[in-house]
Structure 1
């Protein structure tokens, strides 16, 4: 499951539209910030972008940061998901002046307050589905339930099928960072549901 969660960072980069600017280009797969060379972006790239992830599994955090030229129309977006043992956040920021992504990468703090929504909590290797009597109480802006299945788990040598269900903050499947992989077949299904609200 770690490979799935950390792998989504690669999907946010390298699409673009507009005039050229100078941006910092760097990456760190084990840190909260990076510094690197200044790159003159292609003419159709109008923004400098910073993408940062945080994965907390069983209380242990790991981080990735990518800074690059881009052209995403959305100026700022955050994706979050949480199970009983794992929390993942991806945040992308755009800016429009030379070297504006040089500043330290930030993550918007999450809100840990329960929001009254509960979701099924399960994860299953080598399966297209998972079900459980176990539930998770969602917090903050994570007020929807997520189901994902496909070849996104990795055993160190190859990807294989697995499935998960837990809380997320996105309102529809097309907002998931790996939604484009539904077309390629790597992801079989992404579903967003309302979940179980407390009476």
Structure 2
């Protein structure tokens, strides 16, 4: 019994529970400014994530970086993109690693720098006065985008807040794995998502917005 107890104590010391520490930040540009450290949740399988989004989500081009702990199962997202209209879109690249502060370097650029139509289309709209928009026009889906998404929520302009809605194309990775990332990107523009839904994209000849 004494030998067993000693063996258990030795195993405890030899296999301590080590908390994974990651760099954490979110902001405009390619580099983290005012980055902090974040301790991941020991009770879940987590990794350090680094994601870079590039595109046009406003009148000006946008580049956004996001770093944090993330559930390892969400690391499969890889490349993702979403198109609201032909001129409002985002492409993102996420990568993961599992050692302390391994995400402290520059995030990887998205794999695709071109946006080629793939023959699919989705309803497209952008409303700042309603939490729903009909999407009477469509946008051509690009690259791997094969999902139609709807996002409803609130937009902040200065000290005021308005309800709003978005419709457009998205990759399955955006819908299945990285809703949290997409919602964070939109939140940086003052858009707080309260509802996000995805359906299969369609193939038709509707007018493009």
| Residue in 2 that maps onto 1:75 | 75
Spell out, residue by residue over 1:66-85, the C-alpha distance to the aligned partner (whole angstroms, 9 max, x if none).
33445443334244211222
Task: Give matches, 1:37-52, under 5 Å.
Answer: 39=37, 41=39, 44=42, 46-52=46-52
Post-superposition offset of 1:129: 1.5
| Residue in 2 that maps onto 1:13 | none
Do the aligned partners of 1:124 and 1:162 also contact (CA within 8 Å) in 2?
yes
For the residue of structure 1 that corresponds to 2:61, the secondary structure is: strand
Total equivalences in the alignment: 174
| Superposition CA RMSD, Å | 3.4
For the residue of structure 1 that corresponds to 2:145, the secondary structure is: coil
Spell out, residue by residue over 1:72-101, the C-alpha distance to the aligned partner (whole angstroms, 9 max, x if none).
433342442112221123443210123321
- Note closer, same or farther for the CA distance 1:194–1:70 as it changes in structure 2 (3 Å cut): closer
* Counterpart among 25, 30, 33 of residue 31 in structure 2: 33
Which one has the bigger helix percentage? 2
Spell out, residue by residue over 1:96-116, the C-alpha distance to the aligned partner (whole angstroms, 9 max, x if none).
123321321113233522111
1:190, 1:37 → 2: CA distance? 29
| Residue in 1 that maps onto 2:111 | 109
* Counterpart among 184, 200, 203 of residue 197 in structure 1: 203
Gap regions ≥5 residues in structure 2: 1-16, 185-191
Do the aligned partners of 1:172 and 1:191 also contact (CA within 8 Å) in 2?
no
* Counterpart among 101, 126, 145 of residue 129 in structure 2: 126
- Normalising by the residue count of structure 2, what TM-score does the alignment of the two structures yield? 0.66
Rg larger in 1 or in 2?
Answer: 2
